[in-house]
Structure 1
């Protein structure tokens, strides 16, 4: 337990929550990916493939952490999991919110060209993604990180004069 605390810079027990949530997310992702290879009826095969995919995803995630830890300015390593959780929740939430907004506006695939429909869907999703990224980042205690991240991204797409 001491090694785990030292490795992730954990000072209080509540910070284990992010490790736990990260492992749950990784397990769920590996399970969904393993379903692409094996049907539900082959439980043993599903379990073995799930373990293999979990291990590969864990290795990939830890590799990405080591690379981004140098690039992103975070005080503690456990905050990396926190940041990744915010990105995951924000991405899912923006898709979840965009669908009803498009329906509310009255845009469907039937009354608009499929190309225009998907362009509008992506634009609306992108707008809500930006808003949700700040809000969910704030809820997870990472407002400063995500506000700086947001400003950097908006500057890159040409909104410099609105941010300065």
Structure 2
């Protein structure tokens, strides 16, 4: 019963797509032959379903890098308040900045939130002074330091 209740949250996926996505979510390197065996379908069926889900943007098979392990020790979220008439320009400028790995439109006092990953606080200061503060239309920023990641997961279905 519990599985069906959770399954209903993903009504755009049929049972087979759901089962394949769930298996790959647990282990993206799981061979299609093993998934096919577990689900009692052909490997070709699994391969075609995965390809279709990828083409539709439902499923992405990517490697996730641990930022701390590659030297990106400073992770911050920055709330950004923007002049209303400059929002599109600010978004375009942020999209060009490599360090801004996430740009989100929000409601409230700050129209945007970005996530930035950097090596150290010197790089953060440099980023704020030479990149973010040079963008016309930004009226106020609030830098939020991520002190410790307590939970991080990429599993959405169960």
Larger Rg: 2
TM-score (norm 2): 0.23
Higher relative contact order, structure no. (Cα contacts within 8 Å, ≥ 6 residues apart): 2
TM-score (norm 1): 0.22
- Which structure dedicates a bigger proportion of its chain to helix? 1
- Which structure dedicates a bigger proportion of its chain to strand? 2
